[in-house]
Structure 1
């Protein structure tokens, strides 16, 4: 999520956590196969755990149970034939909403999105290759980093103050610029073409909307962070909400167009 406006007191902690995530995630991405499948499933499960805790803070075991069920569903969906994918990924959300009496629409929609994104991340790594996934991650991370620093340094008008009070237009546009540059570099060096820059900007916007969606839930639940699992970054949702939005867009675009990068 792109942070905007404020002091730099948390920068060292954020950088330390970021380095650890880059190393751990990078190893899993390069390893691929079962390693990345497990990582994707665990991340999806942690996101669901945080989501349930935010929406139902007194739910106790409910959040843990839904997290385990969600991680298991992602793993199963990745190893069974494709026609089972949607039912398996939707099933945990149906179980979850059957056990609560409020906030059902938000829980079902966001939880289902998390599960499909967790599946999509590992699916794309397996079918489209490592260079393709590195491009996707680079666009999301580049959007976040340049948006963070541009927002802090430049400030200015807010992008959507009612939902995300710290997000500025300067940080938002800077994220688009970062994505375009990254897309151009990948496009020219991989043979995908300069047009990849346009798709990268669309992904950048999708990642920002992922951030906005999570911010809306946090404001509704009156919490600052989804959890405290990642020092300096808050929770897993706080860190990967943008990637969630980007992967969901690519899952939709696969029925229209997917670029061939490095393949």
Structure 2
């Protein structure tokens, strides 16, 4: 493959990625209603993309499910003092699977619920533990993706899971783990976390990669290349945030098992 073909998607990926990074990090730093608004909009868009992929003949239904996801997350975040309302996060999932003969019910059901739980969890994580740990989570996801992209194209080698994600290589996957551990080393110096942060960072990277693999499997089953065409060089929002969803779900699980030191800015 020629160099332009090998790196042809680099420029749009970098430009749109930088734009999203600047805007996203600003809202992460602001926190509160600003970051909550980002999570609400992102959840709505991703559920819309997912519904459109899994049932492309009903675009109006996909839009309504996306709006329902945004409304539901807004309601739950506004009333989070009542944990019983967390069950409402399943509303977009239930609304999308109850109709008879809906194709890809399982894929839509599981992934839409993951979107809702992860979106809520990221907001709760930011408020509960401070900006530092959310920044760590995001940086691990970003460096995992970047290291995997470059290592996979430079070194190539055996494919990680060719039947589902033919572009991913073992070299890129392993590079993501190493890069994530390096982020963990950096954060050891600015937090009170112990040495466990290194292997947790590597597992976080693996969870991010599994989030990417899960979305790739859905796209392959649906017969589409991208979840949508909203973002130049990246496809849709799901294509960009799939890794973050996997990482967020993993970290929410870890936070239930161990103490996460709170660091405020």
Quick one: higher RCO (CA 8 Å, sep 6+), 1 or 2? 1
Q: Provide the C-alpha distance between the structure 1 equivalents of 2:11 and 2:118, rounded to a whole number of angstroms.
A: 30
Compute the displacement of 1:214 (Å). 0.3
- Tell me the residue number matched to 1:88: 88
Q: Provide the C-alpha distance between the structure 1 equivalents of 2:35 and 2:208, rounded to a whole number of angstroms.
A: 21
Q: Provide the C-alpha distance between the structure 2 equivalents of 1:248 and 1:100, rounded to a whole number of angstroms.
A: 30
Compute the displacement of 1:100 (Å). 5.0
After TM superposition, the score normalised by the length of structure 1 is 0.95
Compute the displacement of 1:196 (Å). 0.6
- Tell me the residue number matched to 2:34: 35
- Tell me the residue number matched to 2:97: 97
Compute the displacement of 1:79 (Å). 2.1
- The SS at the match of 2:96 is helix
Q: Is the CA contact 2:129–2:263 (under 8 Å) kept in the aligned structure 1? A: no
Q: Provide the C-alpha distance between the structure 2 equivalents of 1:259 and 1:179, rounded to a whole number of angstroms.
A: 18
User: 1:73-222 to 2 correspondence within 5 Å?
Assistant: 73-80=72-79, 81-101=81-101, 102-222=103-223
Greater Cα shift, 244-253 or 208-217 = 244-253
- Tell me the residue number matched to 2:63: 64
Compute the displacement of 1:156 (Å). 0.3
Q: Number of matched residues?
A: 258
Greater Cα shift, 236-245 or 73-82 = 73-82
Greater Cα shift, 239-248 or 98-107 = 98-107
- The SS at the match of 1:191 is coil
CA 1:182–1:259: 2 relative to 1, 3 Å:
same
Q: Provide the C-alpha distance between the structure 2 equivalents of 1:223 and 1:205, rounded to a whole number of angstroms.
A: 24
Query: What's the C-alpha RMSD, in Å, of the aligned pairs?
Result: 1.3
After TM superposition, the score normalised by the length of structure 2 is 0.94
For structure 2, the 5+ residue unaligned runs are none
Compute the displacement of 1:188 (Å). 2.6
For structure 1, the 5+ residue unaligned runs are 1-5
Q: Provide the C-alpha distance between the structure 2 equivalents of 1:97 and 1:208, rounded to a whole number of angstroms.
A: 27
Greater Cα shift, 189-198 or 141-150 = 189-198
